[in-house]
Structure 1
Amino acid sequence: MNGNGKIYVIGLGPGNRQHTTPAAIEAIGQSGVIVGYNTYIELIEDLLTDKKVVFSGMRKEVDRCTQAFNYASQGEIVSLISSGDAGVYGMAGIMNEVLMKKGSNIEIEIVPGITAANAAASILGAPIMHDYVTISLSDLLTDWKLIKKRLHCGGEGDFVICIYNPKSKGRQDHIKEARDILLKYKRKDTPVGIVRNAKREKEGYILTTLEHMLDYEIDMVTVVIVGNSHTYIANNRMITPRGYRL
């Protein structure tokens, strides 16, 4: 640890404790300081009785990484918490960037977790058995023009597309525009799975088509998975064949 403590960057998975890895729980147990977004901290409150807990709200990611660095610089073992996998729209990238900017040699270990796409796919059946992409529709950190370009590329390439952050109170129309872009490349009857609260309380899913996907509730706790040209629905399951001969 070079005498400077250590930082674990932990993915908790989708939220249900059964889907948090033993490695994540072990790392939290070894840590004296836990840093995270307040909603994620609530998911592990029972593990934090003897810990110093530092939490904050949305859009404070840089502050949380700086706090984790400061505690680790004092010799503490720190867990920086993400949901899902910390390296997928999580805290792993920014924590590494903060350490590089500071020229720090503090030890950092990324503890992987089950992603929202993996959790949603398991509920739907097997929709991401072949090549797929994940695209977030949030334009807080990425220009909407670039997001649209990626949607075009994903559609043209016949990828299965997992859509994160599809719709928020302040961002109602992006999912409509995304659907219209994908209709340029995919059939109207392309299977679509809509999963809300994957592996959490109030979990639910809908199997529908690209044409009709906007008829159903979609929000920020939703993952939308759009199939490729070979995806089909059978026995209430969404399946993307990999090509095995049966």
Structure 2
Amino acid sequence: MAPAARDALSRADHIVGYDTYVQMAGPFREDQKVHPSDNRVELDRSRHALELAAAGDTVAVVSSGDPGIFAMAAAVLEVLDTETDPRLRAVRVVVIPGITAAQATASRIGAPLGHDFCVMSLSDNLKPWDIIERRLRLAAEADFVIALYNPISKARPHQLATAFDILRSVRTPDTPVVLGRDVDREGESLTVTTLGAVRPEQVDMRTCVIVGSSRTRLLPRDDGSIMVYTPRFYPCGEGA
């Protein structure tokens, strides 16, 4: 958690968020009011936070990682964008940056995001799967390093295998892949594998998947460990 985020939490009268993330962000003082809720009520949660703030209190809306990346900052602004109540429209909104899963995973293994990269969610709850497939293919063809969020769930057991197949149609089997599970949390694990070898069963919803570009390299260390990095340059004249 970034120091500015911790400071914002300490100044809040109300803490609003998904129950699991609220627990992780705590503990909180007895004078602070905590409002936990279910994972799939983002817009209701956002409106509740705006109503609390419109009453004159300071409210912290909690996300994991960075609130502006697949998280609650966009949900709050979505509600604000369609709101007609002048009290809610007058609420001052400040987005405090955090450390998103791709950054946290990359830092543990080296610098796989050292050159151009993109971040994609494989969840089709809020966007059609055909858009996800198209973006995956185009990102692979453009030779971006690709960080995949929400890669697999019980409701979406087959999509990650399809995503890997799309990437394999463009990238070579030896392309480095990093799996970061629960990074910076209890039970953290890191796996370095390849696009040819990685399997969906190695991944769950708490895993960030980083698929390297054509330039991403493995760097063996004298202690037997391996670091992964993407050079900051392409050789002169080399395309994707």
TM-score, normalised to structure 2, is 0.91
**Which residue, 110, 113, 134 being the options, matches 2:98?**
113
Matching residue's letter, 2:228: M
What's the counterpart of residue 164 of structure 1?
149
Structure 2: unaligned runs, 5 residues or longer: 221-225, 236-240
Displacement of 1:154 after TM fit?
A: 0.6
Matched, 1:205 2:195: no
TM-align CA RMSD: 1.4
Query: How many Å apart are 1:244 and its aligned residue?
Result: 9.0
Q: 1:168-211: CA deviations, max 9, x gaps? A: 11211111100110111110111111111111111111111101
The residue number in structure 2 matching 1:23 is 4
Query: Which amino acid letter does the alignment assign opposite residue 195 of structure 1?
Result: G
Instruction: Sort the Cα spacing of 1:60 and 1:215 in 2 relative to 1 into closer, same or farther, 3 A.
Output: closer
Q: What secondary structure does 2:193 align onto?
A: strand
1:99–1:105 contact (8 Å) kept in structure 2: no
Q: Distance in 1 between matches of 2:233 and 2:125?
A: 38
Partner of 1:148: 133
Kindly indicate whether residue 32 of structure 2 is the aligned counterpart of residue 47 of structure 1. Answer: no
Give me the TM-score of the superposition, normalised by structure 1. Answer: 0.88
Residue 97 of structure 1: how far off its partner (Å): 2.0
RCO (CA 8 Å, sep 6+): is it higher in 1 or 2?
Answer: 1
Give a deviation string over 1:8-61, Cα, whole Å, max 9, x none.
xxxxxxxxxxxx111111111111111110001111332243211111011110
In the aligned structure 2, how far is the partner of 1:140 from the partner of 1:216? 21
Aligned mates of 1:112, 1:215 — CA distance in 2:
31
Instruction: Tell me, in whole angstroms, the C-alpha distance in 2 between the residues paired with 1:201 and 1:218.
Output: 17
Q: CA offset at residue 216 of structure 1?
A: 5.6
Distance in 2 separating the partners of 1:49 and 1:133: 41
- Secondary structure of the residue that 2:143 maps to in structure 1? coil
Alpha-carbon distance in structure 2 between the residues aligned to 1:35 and 1:215: 33
Distance, in Å, in 2 between the alignment partners of 1:44 and 1:83 is 9
For the structure 1 residues 21 and 108, does the alpha-carbon distance in structure 2 shift closer, same or farther, using more than 3 Å as the test?
same
Greater mean deviation of Cα atoms: 129-138 or 164-173:
164-173
Q: Which amino acid aligns with 1:38?
A: D
* Partner Cα separation in structure 2 for residue 239 and residue 100 of structure 1: 40
Q: One-letter code of the match for 1:57?
A: D
Equivalent residue, structure 2, for 1:84 = 65
Q: 2 CA distance for matches of 1:62 and 1:44?
A: 20
What secondary structure does 1:223 align onto?
strand
Looking at structure 2, the residues matched to 41 and 133 of structure 1 have their Cα atoms a distance apart, in angstroms, of 28
Equivalents in 2 of 1:169, 1:244: separation in Å? 40
Q: Provide, for residues 68-106 of structure 1, a one-character-per-residue CA deviation record: whole Å limited to 9, x for no partner.
A: 011111111111111110100011112112122224121
- 1:61 corresponding residue in structure 2: 42
Paired-residue identity, %: 42
Question: What 5-or-longer segments of structure 1 have no aligned partner?
Answer: 1-19
2:223 paired residue number: none
CA 99–22 in structure 1, closer or farther in 2 if over 3 Å, else same: same
Q: Which residue of 1 aligns with 2:79?
A: 98
- The 1-side partners of 2:126 and 2:134 are apart by 15
Of 227, 231, 238, which residue of structure 2 is paired with 1:237? 227
Paired residue type of 1:188: P
